[in-house]
C-alpha cells in the first residue's frame, strides 16, 4: 500500500508541475525561457506516466499476493 501512496503523490506532483509549466507557456510574457518551460511540460508528462505505471504494478502485486493467500 505504501508504494501506491508514493505513486499517487508522484502523480499529484507531476500534475502540479505540468499545470505550472502550461500556465507559463499560455501567458504571453510570463515565461523567461519558453523552450525550458516546454521541456518542463514534457518532463511532467513523463513523470506522471512513470508514476501511473508504478501504481499499476503495485495493484498487480497486491492482487497476486491476495491470490496466493486465498
**Residue 1: its pLDDT value, please?**
67
Residue 60 confidence (pLDDT) above 70: yes
> How high is the mean pLDDT of the chain?
92
Q: Inform me whether the pLDDT recorded for 68 exceeds 80.
A: yes
pTM of the prediction? 0.83
Residue 37: all three cell numbers together: 518551460
Provide the number of structural domains found in the chain: 1
Q: Is the pLDDT of residue 40 over 90?
A: yes
Contact 23, 67 (CB under 8 A): no
Q: Is the pLDDT of residue 57 over 80?
A: yes
Domain span at residue 20? 2-69
Amino acid at each position: 500500500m505504501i508504494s501506491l501512496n508514493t505513486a499517487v503523490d508522484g502523480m499529484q506532483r507531476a500534475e502540479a508541475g505540468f499545470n505550472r509549466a502550461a500556465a507559463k507557456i499560455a501567458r504571453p510574457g510570463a515565461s523567461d525561457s519558453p523552450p525550458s518551460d516546454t521541456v518542463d511540460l514534457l518532463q511532467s508528462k513523463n513523470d506522471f506516466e512513470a508514476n501511473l505505471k508504478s501504481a499499476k504494478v503495485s495493484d498487480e502485486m497486491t492482487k497476486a499476493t491476495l491470490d496466493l493467500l486465498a
